[in-house]
Structure 1
Amino acid sequence: MSKVVPTYHQRVAQEKRALIVTAATELFLELGYDRTSLARIAERSGVSRATLFKQFPSKAALFDAIVTESWSTAEEEDPPPAGNVVDGLTAIGRRYAELLSRPQMTDLFRIVIAELPRFPELAHAQFSQGKVPYFESVRSYLRAEHEAGTVRIEDVDLAATQFLGMISNYVFWPTLLVPGWKVSAERVAQVVDEAVRTIAARYGASGPATSAND
């Protein structure tokens, strides 16, 4: 797939957008969502208020951008083709572990957890715009494998939750609770490989598939 090379003005706009998102994330963590104004974000990011309002007309729109960018994959790769569930899940698992290892993902969850009592809409945005679309991509992949006959899965929601949970429970969640929690690249690879083996052993099958839940 060919990529469009951005013009100078597009590149400048993208750079300013990145500065704004970084500054907003920092201020939400330092001061809280409620006490952080768009004016303060503009000052921290070094852009004019007009530039900020042009890209983000509201604080909610800016938070939505933080969610979207936190959950986006590095290269927006296509899902693996069905036919080899071990290779496919390994690719998905590695992408997921890399995603969870980004500092901005930890920052996003900390903001949502801290502001949940007063701003439940932030949690809704994080769930509906971030986690759900990502989960749906894994769910769709497992359904495709079921239809290809490589696995037998009656409940693809459960299977997707099991797979992602085995990775996040070791790679991500302790970072929110345990100071200095670090996981080596070798350990991450082992966690992903074991999750793949577990799913393949539980759901592996041969022959044509008959049905899968929607």
Structure 2
Amino acid sequence: MRTKNSTSGQKLPSVIEQARRTQIVDCAVEVVAELGWAQASLARIAERAGISKGVISYHFTGKEELFDLLVSQIYGRITEFVVPHLDAQTTVVGRLRARFCSIAEYLRAHRAEMVALTEVLTNLRDADGTPRYGDSFNEPYYQRLEETFRAGQESGELRDFDARVMAVTVQAAIDAMVAYADTHPDHDITAHAEQLAELFERAIARRAEGEA
């Protein structure tokens, strides 16, 4: 993802500039989460941040760059939260359960971020009208899950199945869980994650001989 100050020949933003960009992104999260994508204009974001629209234009080349940074920052925070939970597990099944449950835990604590993220991923378009975050955006996640499943099959922990199909299905289940919780604030996201963990454990774990 390109940022205004990361192009060739340009200096990186200073600490103060980075702090201002982060503040603007956080205000964008609040506006999108409260008003929805269609109402999240740069003017409204500037008003929420207590700055002029020109300040946003100084730090970002346009709305696309601002929301690219929003996506990047939120995914970075999710990753920082989730990875330690995964690393604490010693089995593929345990890591998958930890993935579902830790994402649900993050969502509970940062609902506005997750609502805004879903809005941006769903609605942001390139100049030609194509989704900026199409299916290719999930490809790195598909690959990592696929590699994990293949390793579990090779170790004998998991049964035989198409690792790519399972990876796509797991990511789709996570995306659906997040989207559903966004539109149903009272939904028990913890129970949802636990149900997904149980469902996929039954789907991927190698059964003992004679087990139904």
Structure-2 separation of matches of 1:190 and 1:32: 30
- Does 2:181 match 1:175? yes
1:139 match: 146
Q: % of aligned pairs identical?
A: 23
> Residue 63 of structure 1 is aligned with which of 58, 67, 70?
67
> Residue 21 of structure 1 is aligned with which of 10, 25, 31?
25
The correspondence of residues 92-171 of structure 1 with structure 2, limited to 5 A, is 92-101=99-108, 102-103=110-111, 104-113=113-122, 120-121=129-130, 123-125=131-133, 127-129=135-137, 131-169=138-176, 171=177
Q: Aligned in 2, Cα 1:155/1:172: closer, same or farther, shift over 3 Å?
A: same
> Residue 91 of structure 2 is aligned with which of 81, 84, 95?
84
Structure-2 separation of matches of 1:184 and 1:28: 21
**Residue segments in structure 2 that go unaligned for 5+ positions in a row:** 1-13
Displacement after TM superposition at 1:192 (Å): 4.3
2:3 match: none
Q: Aligned in 2, Cα 1:94/1:135: closer, same or farther, shift over 3 Å?
A: farther
Q: Aligned in 2, Cα 1:184/1:152: closer, same or farther, shift over 3 Å?
A: closer
* Corresponding residue SS for 1:125: coil
1:211 match: none
**Counterpart residue type for residue 138 of structure 1:** L
* Corresponding residue SS for 1:124: coil
Structure-2-length-normalised TM-score: 0.64
Structure-2 separation of matches of 1:86 and 1:151: 8
Displacement after TM superposition at 1:144 (Å): 2.7
Displacement after TM superposition at 1:155 (Å): 1.9
Structure-2 separation of matches of 1:81 and 1:148: 19
Q: Aligned in 2, Cα 1:161/1:69: closer, same or farther, shift over 3 Å?
A: same
Structure-1-length-normalised TM-score: 0.63
**Residue segments in structure 1 that go unaligned for 5+ positions in a row:** 1-8, 207-214
1:46 match: 50
Structure-2 separation of matches of 1:205 and 1:47: 60
Equivalenced residues, count:
189
Structure-2 separation of matches of 1:31 and 1:144: 41
* Corresponding residue SS for 2:80: coil
Structure-2 separation of matches of 1:31 and 1:83: 40
The correspondence of residues 190-205 of structure 1 with structure 2, limited to 5 A, is 190-201=194-205, 204=206
Q: Aligned in 2, Cα 1:139/1:80: closer, same or farther, shift over 3 Å?
A: farther
Show CA shifts across 1:135-161 (max 9, x none).
333223223323434224442221123
Q: Is this contact kept in 1: 2:124–2:132, CA < 8 A?
A: no
CA-based RMSD: 3.9
Q: Is this contact kept in 2: 1:19–1:45, CA < 8 A?
A: yes
